[in-house]
Amino acid sequence: MNVLMSDCVHSVHTLNVSQTDPQISAVGALPNGARDVLPIEAAELRAVEDALRAAFSRYGYREVRTPVIEFAHHLERAESGGLDRAYRLFDESGRVLVLRPDMTIPVSRLIATRFVDHPGPIRVAYTGPSFRVPQPGKPVASEVRNAGAELVGADGPEADAEIVLVLWEALRDAGLSQARIGLSDVSVTAAVLEGLGVPDQIRERLSRAAEARDFVAWRTEAAQFVCPEPQAELLAGLPAMRGHTDVLARIAEVVPFAREACARMTRLLELLAQEGLHDAVLVDLGILRDWKYYSGLVIEAYASGAALPVAQGGRYDGLASRFGTSRPAVGFSIEVESLHRAITDGARARDLEFGIVLVGGLDEQLTLSARIRAAGIVVIGLAAGDSRGEALAEAEGWRFVGVQDAGGLRILDRADGTSFVSARPEEDLSSRR
Amino acid sequence: MPLGALYPDAIELLERAGVDVSPLRDGSRKLIFTAPDGTVFITTRPSDVPTYVEAGSADIGIVGRDVINERHPDVYELLDLEFGACRMAYATADGVDPTSEIIARLGVLRVATKYPAVAEAHFLATGRQVELVKVNGSVELGPLVGLADGIVDLVATGRTLRENGLVEREHIFDSSARLIANRVSHKLRAEEIDALTARLAQAVAAESR
């Protein structure tokens, strides 16, 4: 892959230096899970984020930013145990701070405290890094860039459908052609357990099995609860149920108490089908997470080439009330790096960048440089007589190299290896676009 | 596919579920085998199976519950395949169980194990301090040569323990082979994985009948 090869050019330079200077090799080491981003990846990540942001703003989701550091007790209020893997530090008066371990909770805090007079519904979007202490032995970054959207103050399957649609379009616009969206609803699961009269103790253990994605433990626990067929079979197989509206029809038939929850999700699926998402969506009741946090819809987005979901989200109506304002909320968060990796998986060779390395562009050819830039062409300036022109163009992937010659500017076109002398480089270069 | 004790049973179960396992039977030293239908089998040490599945290098895997409890991989555990049945246990040398005496007088128990996370969780949950000695094989040696007071290890028949003068003192959990799936593959290849899971469940049920 060309992308990787060009990155190697940079690494090789560092390597040469570090071999001669042990101090630099020590400086090159980073904290566990941290990493640098080099120019090609940075540009691609920016393009991905730009596409995501454009999709969010088409639906009127306006950007907000929250601080990287927050008071630990504020975030702990929202998610007990959620701060286990957060980086902690102290402020000048000894209060515990955290680097935000995700974006959803700070954004919920922001909406609950800064949009008090907003008539609603509130649509906000964000992009930014969050931080988690990496687990030993797992290839997980300590800093992850998230891009997400939140729809607050709107209830019901219609709001859920918009959020799923925004997620779908954002992923598509970022270049993910084959996304699949998995949907579940904790209120369906809760209604089944309630309707069957499963006691709290077993429910607690089922919840733990579901969070661990352990269907074997779920079946073992479900077997502790004695009930007639077909209810017993439904309960045992609940997290393994998947498909489309057929799943919900089956549940509503066996457990009438769950009818309302199933009807809500069926309506969501109908709305999504109208938008052309029928085939992209998979109803999967195995997608269960922390029941205390989510109150309805649970969303995951999958891409081949990513080992974990590239986006997660759902409805958490109770979250805002922990910050003082009670409003229904649904949203999602995309992991930008993992999305980028899924998009570049199997990428073709990279094109040369349209720009000219101009020897003399730093000093003797300032007017010419300005003229070429004015024509919308990138000029990378070198001092006159600098012999590194071609090496620089190769290392950074620029298409042209220009050196002043007797008859004008001698230009090498690295796309086909030809060279020519030009009196009006801005025109000759533009014609090669 | 886990090499070692689970391997023959895993092949046999897959075959009974209608999976073409012929390439696995050719006795070669290759690590990757491709069946005529395109199924790729990756063979590896059991403790690495969850790593490959979690990373998406394999869509599904067969691995013992013991490895899952030790590693806590972020994967779906779909089915109990019921072969490779054994138990995780705490054992000490024959005679009077020295555990409570050691805890009372020294405060901390020294335990040799290949499963440090499992051992630590067990003793923490039962309110006892433990000092773990991680060993990679023949754990039974530990108490015999004074390396540790006891061991936490997998016990199938109990014969190895008996022959080395050890007695099982505490049962930690039952283990058997499980079918696991990568979180993304489980959704992107939902239809194939559900079909295979159903066939395996039938084969398991037919066996236990």
The model's pLDDT over A177-217, given as tens digits with 9 standing for 90+, comes to 888 999 999 999 999 999 999 999 999 999 999 989 999 99
- In this model, does residue A123 exceed pLDDT 50? yes
Looking at residue A292, its pLDDT comes to 62
**Domain end residue (candidates: A236, A266, A300):** A300
Looking at residue A417, its pLDDT comes to 93
Of A3-12, A100-109, B168-177, the range with the highest mean pLDDT is B168-177
- Euclidean distance between CA atoms A208 and A185, whole angstroms: 16
CA distance B95 to chain A (A): 36
In a domain, A70, yes or no: yes
- A339 neighbourhood in chain B, CB within 8 Å: none
Top-confidence residue, B176 or A324:
B176
Residues 6+ apart with CB under 8 A from B67: B46, B47, B49, B50
Q: Does A323 share its domain with A421?
A: no
In a domain, A345, yes or no: yes
Q: Does A308 share its domain with A167?
A: yes
CA distance A311 to chain B (A): 11
Nearest to B46 by CA among B61, B57, B60: B61
- Return the percentage of chain A with pLDDT > 70, whole number: 90
- Return the percentage of chain A with pLDDT > 90, whole number: 70
Q: In 3-state terms, what secondary structure has residue A408? A: strand
- B182 neighbourhood in chain A, CB within 8 Å: 307
Per the listing, tokens 């006795």 go with B27
Q: Does A184 share its domain with A273?
A: yes
- In this model, does residue A60 exceed pLDDT 90? yes
- Euclidean distance between CA atoms B189 and A10, whole angstroms: 38
- In this model, does residue B154 exceed pLDDT 60? yes
Which two structure tokens, joined as six digits, stand for A205?
């253990």
Q: Is A323 in contact with A200 (CB distance < 8 Å)?
A: no
Top-confidence residue, A319 or A105:
A105
Point out which residues pair with A99 in neighbouring strands.
Answer: A69
Nearest to A127 by CA among A69, A186, A65: A65
Same topology for domains B7-84+176-208 and B86-174, yes or no?
yes
Looking at residue A6, its pLDDT comes to 40
Nearest to B200 by CA among B98, B69, B103, B60: B60
Q: Are residues B188 and A300, on separate chains, in Cβ contact within 8 Å?
A: no
User: Residues B91-113: what's their mean pLDDT?
Assistant: 89
Top-confidence residue, A19 or A105:
A105
Cα A343 → chain centroid: 12
Least confident range from A141-155, A323-337, B170-184: namely: A323-337
Looking at residue A261, its pLDDT comes to 95
When CB atoms are compared, the residue of A213, A282, A300 closest to B190 is A282
Q: Are residues B187 and A215, on separate chains, in Cβ contact within 8 Å?
A: no
Q: Does A196 share its domain with A65?
A: no
Q: Which residue of A has its CA nearest to B194?
A: A240
Looking at residue A82, its pLDDT comes to 61
User: Residues A251-266: what's their mean pLDDT?
Assistant: 95
- In this model, does residue A252 exceed pLDDT 90? yes
- In this model, does residue A75 exceed pLDDT 70? yes
- A216 neighbourhood in chain B, CB within 8 Å: 77-80, 178
- In this model, does residue A276 exceed pLDDT 60? yes
Q: Is A143 in contact with A34 (CB distance < 8 Å)?
A: yes
- Euclidean distance between CA atoms A241 and A223, whole angstroms: 17
Q: Does A211 share its domain with A245?
A: yes
Residues 6+ apart with CB under 8 A from B141: B112, B135, B147, B164
Alpha helices for A149-185 (secondary structure H): 156-174
In a domain, A1, yes or no: no
In a domain, A277, yes or no: yes
- Return the percentage of chain B with pLDDT > 70, whole number: 100
Q: What is the pTM of this model?
A: 0.87
Q: Does A109 share its domain with A91?
A: yes
Length of chain A as a residue count: 433
Nearest to A239 by CA among A305, A198, A200, A189: A189
Point out which residues pair with B20 in neighbouring strands.
Answer: none
Q: Does A140 share its domain with A50?
A: yes
CA distance A180 to chain B (A): 7
- In this model, does residue A295 exceed pLDDT 60? yes
Q: Are residues B182 and A307, on separate chains, in Cβ contact within 8 Å?
A: yes
When CB atoms are compared, the residue of B79, B184, B186 closest to A216 is B79
In a domain, A274, yes or no: yes
Selected residue of A211, A213, A241, A246 to mutate for chain B interface (largest B Cβ count, 10 A)? A213
Q: In 3-state terms, what secondary structure has residue A44? A: helix
Looking at residue A8, its pLDDT comes to 38
In a domain, A166, yes or no: yes
Selected residue of A84, A216, A284, A345 to mutate for chain B interface (largest B Cβ count, 10 A)? A216
- In this model, does residue A348 exceed pLDDT 70? no
**Domain end residue (candidates: A335, A350, A365):** A350
When CB atoms are compared, the residue of B79, B187, B197 closest to A302 is B187
ipTM of the complex: 0.86
Looking at residue A81, its pLDDT comes to 55
Total tally of structural domains belonging to chain A: 3
Q: Does A168 share its domain with A67?
A: yes
- A242 neighbourhood in chain B, CB within 8 Å: 190, 194
At position A342, the amino acid (one-letter code) is A
- In this model, does residue A268 exceed pLDDT 70? yes
Number of residue pairs across A and B with CB atoms under 8 Å? 54
- In this model, does residue A395 exceed pLDDT 90? yes
Q: Are residues A242 and B194, on separate chains, in Cβ contact within 8 Å?
A: yes
Looking at residue A332, its pLDDT comes to 96
Which two structure tokens, joined as six digits, stand for B87?
């138990």
Strands (E), A32-109: 62-63, 69-71, 88-90, 96-99
A213 touching chain B per CB within 8 A: yes
CA distance A305 to chain B (A): 8
- Euclidean distance between CA atoms B141 and B112, whole angstroms: 9
The model's pLDDT over B183-204, given as tens digits with 9 standing for 90+, comes to 999 999 999 999 999 999 999 9
In a domain, A191, yes or no: yes
Q: Are residues A303 and B184, on separate chains, in Cβ contact within 8 Å?
A: yes
- In this model, does residue A422 exceed pLDDT 70? yes
- Euclidean distance between CA atoms A279 and A179, whole angstroms: 10
Looking at residue A16, its pLDDT comes to 45
The model's pLDDT over A21-45, given as tens digits with 9 standing for 90+, comes to 666 667 778 888 899 999 989 999 9
Q: Does A191 share its domain with A308?
A: no
Q: Is A106 in contact with A66 (CB distance < 8 Å)?
A: yes
Which two structure tokens, joined as six digits, stand for A194?
């309630």
Cα B127 → chain centroid: 25
CATH code of residue A198: 3.30.930.10
Q: Does A163 share its domain with A67?
A: yes
- In this model, does residue A235 exceed pLDDT 90? yes
- Euclidean distance between CA atoms A161 and A167, whole angstroms: 10
- Euclidean distance between CA atoms A401 and A386, whole angstroms: 12
- In this model, does residue A406 exceed pLDDT 90? no
Distances A265 to A246, A269, A283, A315 between C-alpha atoms, Å: 11, 6, 9, 12
CATH code of residue A394: 3.40.50.800
- Euclidean distance between CA atoms B53 and A50, whole angstroms: 32
Which two structure tokens, joined as six digits, stand for A180?
């699949």
Q: Which residue of B has its CA nearest to A310?
A: B184
Average predicted confidence (pLDDT) for chain A: 88
Could you say which architecture CATH assigns to the domain B86-174? 3-Layer(aba) Sandwich (3.40)
**Domain end residue (candidates: A275, A300, A325):** A300
**Residue A369, domain extent:** 353-430
CA distance A300 to chain B (A): 9
- Euclidean distance between CA atoms B207 and B209, whole angstroms: 5
Q: Is B81 in contact with B61 (CB distance < 8 Å)?
A: no
The separation between the first and the last C-alpha atoms of chain A, rounded to the nearest angstrom, is 24
The model's pLDDT over B37-66, given as tens digits with 9 standing for 90+, comes to 899 999 999 999 999 999 999 999 999 999
Tally: H helices and E strands in chain A: 16, 17
Q: Are residues A309 and B77, on separate chains, in Cβ contact within 8 Å?
A: no
Length of chain B as a residue count: 209
Opening angle at CA A249, ends A246 and A250, nearest 5: 85
Instruction: Give residue A14's pLDDT band: very low, low, confident or very high (50, 70, 90).
Output: very low
CB within 8 Å of chain A, chain B residues 182-201: 182-184, 186-188, 190, 194, 197
Selected residue of A214, A282, A288, A289 to mutate for chain B interface (largest B Cβ count, 10 A)? A214
Q: Which CATH superfamily is domain B7-84+176-208 in?
A: Periplasmic binding protein-like II (3.40.190.10)
Cα A271 → chain centroid: 25
CA distance B77 to chain A (A): 5
Q: Does A154 share its domain with A49?
A: yes
Looking at residue B192, its pLDDT comes to 94
Q: Are residues B76 and A286, on separate chains, in Cβ contact within 8 Å?
A: yes
In a domain, A23, yes or no: no
Q: Does A204 share its domain with A275?
A: yes
Looking at residue A32, its pLDDT comes to 85
Instruction: Return the exposure string of B100-127: e unless at least 16 CB atoms fall within 10 Å of the residue's CB, then b.
Output: eebbeeeeebbbbbbbbebbbebbeeee
- Euclidean distance between CA atoms A221 and A202, whole angstroms: 7
Instruction: Give residue B29's pLDDT band: very low, low, confident or very high (50, 70, 90).
Output: confident
Domain ranges of chain B: 7-84+176-208, 86-174
Instruction: Give residue A12's pLDDT band: very low, low, confident or very high (50, 70, 90).
Output: very low
